Structure 1
Amino acid sequence: MEIQTFYSNGKLLITGEYVVLDGAKALALPTKFGQKLVVKEGDNKIIKWTSYDSDGSVWFNDYILFEEVRNKTVRDTNSSVKNTLIEILHQAFIQNPTFLDKNGFEIETFLTFPRLWGLGTSSTLINSIGDWLQIDAFELLQKSFGGSGYDIACAKADSPIIYQLENEQPHYKPIHFNPSFKENIHFVYLNQKQSSKLAIANYMSKHHHVNAIISKINTISYEAIDCKEGKEFAKLMEKHEIIMSDVLELQTVKEKLFPDFKGVIKSLGAWGGDFVMAVSKENPKDYFIEKGYNIVLSYEEMIL
């Protein structure tokens, strides 16, 4: 029996959150964590799907009929995961109808990070499905989930990238970003998953004066890449937070949760959830653990 295996990297968006949708240049980092997709032959025109979390527990297990994929049959409102999978696979079918000529599939996915971390459970899956079916993963994302596509670029990349949408087309290139001050950078999980879809909708309702700030964000992205000192990098991240706080009409995460933190805290991706980046002279682990945030990863532990 033929077994195919695909792997895609997780992602963190360091600069350009939200405004990347409007053409800003964003600094994005693939993570050491990701997701594996294993495809075996099956039968009865059925996809038997099992998804494993990083601790080995099954977080999704179901059967999807080829007919459901072909017709995009979304029935059971209780299983939003199944419905999402059907939507993704239906779009994949539009891009490559021949995959449903087979007898069936047994598909397993294996996360190497806890699912709730928000490092790209969907984007890693979409990229690997793209690799499996030899279709354009950016188009697959766009027509199923939406979003800027930076996460697909990270899924494919094995080094930091600068990412931009031009005329709604993804452009990205690998860059050299290996800060000498990386021991001053940590990533802290805020104990809550953030919905990218909702966050984007909120941004779209508020982004009337966004063009004026795109060039400012672009400058910050490029200056951050060239930074030689942690202090300078921290100042740029602080500046970025203030600009986005104005656009989103939201408090910064530091004002809201960590006003007494000695250093800079920067939101990554959707504001209000998932990971934030802390830049500080001292190791901030104890500070965050005392506040009840136990997942604090160093740059080395997190970034590919």
Structure 2
Amino acid sequence: MKKEFYSNGKLLITGEYLVLDGAKAFALPTKYGQNLIAEEGNNQEIKWQSFDSDGSIWFEDTLTFKDISKKNISEEASSKRNTLLEILHEGFLLNPDFLNQSNGCSVKTQLTFPRNWGLGTSSTLINNIAQWLQIDAFALLKNSFGGSGYDIACAQNNSPILYHLKNGKPIVEKVTFDPKFSENLYFVYLDKKQSSKTAIASYYNNRNKDLEEDITKNNKITLAVLNAKSLNDFGLALEKHEAEMSNILEMHTVKESLFSDFNGVVKSLGAWGGDFVLVISKENPTAYFEKKGFRTIIPYKEMIL
């Protein structure tokens, strides 16, 4: 019996890093995502294939039920295999029937965006696996990969969301965001994949222990971004957010680092230093960014659900 699942990709507009400590984050699910097809197999094993958006296989392996149940991580195996094994092991702990009532299976995953874009290769995989195994995706994320879980919320929702953690539990609020100025919004890929896991670890190692004031400021800015009625108000709120996070992280903003001569707003999304940025421009900025060597420029309406 074939089972098919799909999860949306994600972009974090506000609340990066601070969302880990309870701040409100504004996030948008994308038109891009990942699907998973599971079919019955045999030999007490899972034959796994992962396909990139161009149809090429970026991961392929066979995992035995014993490896999954015992979490037989091998230093000699690829990091991809060990990561998948860890996720499936945690899935088994949450639902042992996943293995106990199966003879085996074959699984194929397919991204609809290039894997290096950073739109949620891991979060869409975890949410798809959780759907397949009929378990809580937030619990699976917490037990395997870690993170705030906003990306899981995007994977599960087809509308913009406000997201925060309350006593460690995810609170998801669907919101309306359909700005009249969307034709002035673009997403530009910086051609540098950023590891969320590494960025989170760095934040925890360097953060200020007293973040209450920073979280309060973040929440006010997040609401200003969400409720902005004009392009100017939207841009000012995002610039304020960048300045606040620059102080917290003790890092230059992406505009200061790469695009100081750009006539518009450039906002980091998610982990600073890689993946996509949000650009506000009154004119089509494609020529500017291509001249800088950045050739993936996607208009808002083509990216966001």
When normalised by structure 2's length, the TM-score is 0.98
Partner of 1:147: 147
Partner of 2:5: 6
One-letter amino acid of the counterpart of residue 207, structure 2: H
1:276 is aligned to 2:254: no
Partner of 1:158: 158
Partner of 2:265: 264
Q: Spell out structure 1 runs of 4+ moving beyond 4 A.
A: none
CA distance in 1, matches of 2:205, 2:87: 26
Partner of 1:37: 36
How far did residue 206 of structure 1 move? 2.1
How far did residue 272 of structure 1 move? 0.2
CA distance in 2, matches of 1:176, 1:297: 21
Partner of 1:94: 93
Q: Does the CA-based 8 Å contact 1:190-1:275 persist in structure 2?
A: yes
Q: How does 1:23-102 map to 2 (within 5 A)?
A: 23-101=22-100, 102=102
One-letter amino acid of the counterpart of residue 86, structure 1: L
CA distance in 2, matches of 1:18, 1:132: 29
How many percent identity over aligned positions?
57
Q: Secondary structure at the match of 1:256?
A: helix
Partner of 2:200: 200
1:225 is aligned to 2:222: no
Gaps of 5+ in 1: none
CA RMSD of the aligned region, Å? Answer: 0.7
How far did residue 77 of structure 1 move? 3.3
Deviations 1:256-288 (A, max 9, x none): 011101011100000000000011111111110
Gaps of 5+ in 2: none
When normalised by structure 1's length, the TM-score is 0.98
Q: Does the CA-based 8 Å contact 1:192-1:274 persist in structure 2?
A: yes
Partner of 1:303: 304
Q: Secondary structure at the match of 1:262?
A: coil
CA distance in 2, matches of 1:179, 1:203: 32
How far did residue 78 of structure 1 move? 4.1
One-letter amino acid of the counterpart of residue 241, structure 1: E
CA distance in 1, matches of 2:154, 2:44: 33
Q: Secondary structure at the match of 1:86?
A: helix
Partner of 2:15: 16
One-letter amino acid of the counterpart of residue 244, structure 2: I
